[in-house]
A = this chain, B = another copy of it.
Amino acid sequence: MVRVVAKKKVAKEKHAEFLAIASEMVALTRKEDGCIEYTINTCKQDENLLVFLEAWESQAHLDAHMQTEHFKTIGPKYNAFCDSSELMIMEDAYQ
């Protein structure tokens, strides 16, 4: 299993717009093969942060996700609200 944490600095007042656009991405992504989890989260420590938490069966499934039409077309629309972002792709250290 591959886990993804994607931190996106998004001004609090832009969250509603961001989440409205991203909701279609969430719905389509959760239908993808190998998608175990795909959520967008607010963070108690930073109100100007939205964090994607994802789990995929394999890196290949994650790679396929990043080639989908919705990733390529919807992603840029909500990323326009991002001041910065940080991506972490991870695997269980005890594997």
Contacts and interface: CB of A to CB of B under 8 A. Distances in A.
Contact of A93 (B5, B19, B92): B19
A47 to B, nearest CB: 11
Nearest to A88: B43
A5 B51 contact: yes
A10 B3 CA distance: 19
Interface string A26-40: 100000000000011
Count identical subunits in the complex.
Answer: 2
A41 interface: yes
17 contacts: A3-B41, A19-B94, A23-B94, A26-B94, A40-B92, A40-B93, A41-B90, A41-B91, A41-B92, A43-B89, A45-B88, A45-B89, A50-B93, A51-B88, A51-B90, A53-B53, A53-B90
